[in-house]
Amino acid sequence: MADCIFCMIAEGKIPSSKVFESDTVYAFLDLNPVHKGHTLIIPKKHAKDLLRLPPELGRDIVEAMQNVGRAVMEATGADGFNVIQNNGRAAGQEVEHVHWHIIPRFDGDGLAFWAQTKYESMDAMNAMAAQIRARLV
Ligand code: AMP
Ligand code: ZN
């Protein structure tokens, strides 16, 4: 898509530190890493977010996440890694071309991503699950 920065990266029109490339997937280092080695995985074909991603690309994305995740851990000496994928501004999505963050993590690095809340009761929790189930297609 014209004027999409990640499309331009996948097409080689603007530079990136490439980590991986296949027919359908491209991976490169994030310019503003949480930790060095923080990598972004994108489908080459533009999709705004996860809801617009053709599901048949899922296999290629998961294979890339496994391959890149293992290589990032080995290259950085990380003890683990997070896969994070933001959908929508409210979720922190800044670039509107779907992407998965591979973030190396180290024992005791102290990063915390999630604030926690609680359901008022088990009934309230079960009601939430029922509301979600009712909307599945
Ligand atoms: P998100 O907030 O999930 O949309 O993440 C977008 C990510 O893209 C941020 O972590 C940015 O640092 C990263 N980013 C934006 N532009 C570039 C670029 N040209 N090269 C590498 N990473 C980028
Ligand atoms: Zn794009």
Establish whether residue 90 lines the binding site of ligand 1, counting it when its CB lies within 6 angstroms of any ligand atom. Answer: no
pLDDT at residue 104, as a whole number: 96
The number of distinct structural domains making up the chain is 1
**Can you read off the two tokens belonging to residue 78?**
């990380």
CATH number, domain at 71?
3.30.428.10
60-74 per-residue burial string, b: 16 or more CB within 10 A, e: under 16: bbeebbebbbebbbe
Indicate the pTM of the whole model.
0.95
Q: What is the mean pLDDT of the chain?
A: 96
Of the bound ligands, which one is closest to the alpha carbon of residue 2?
Answer: 2
The CA distance from 43 to 118, in Å, is: 35
pLDDT at residue 116, as a whole number: 81
Of 133, 81, 99, residue with least CA distance to 16:
99
Structural domain that includes position 119: 5-134
Of the bound ligands, which one is closest to the alpha carbon of residue 6?
Answer: 2
When pLDDT is cut at 50, 70 and 90, the band that residue 75 belongs to is very high
pLDDT at residue 112, as a whole number: 85
DSSP per residue, 50-62: GGGS-GGGHHHHH
Q: Is the pLDDT of residue 114 over 90?
A: no
**Can you read off the two tokens belonging to residue 72?**
């990032």
Active site residue 99: yes
pLDDT at residue 113, as a whole number: 77
Establish whether residue 24 lines the binding site of ligand 1, counting it when its CB lies within 6 angstroms of any ligand atom. Answer: no
Among 95, 97, 98, which is best to mutate for testing ligand 1, by the most ligand atoms less than 8 A from CB?
Answer: 95
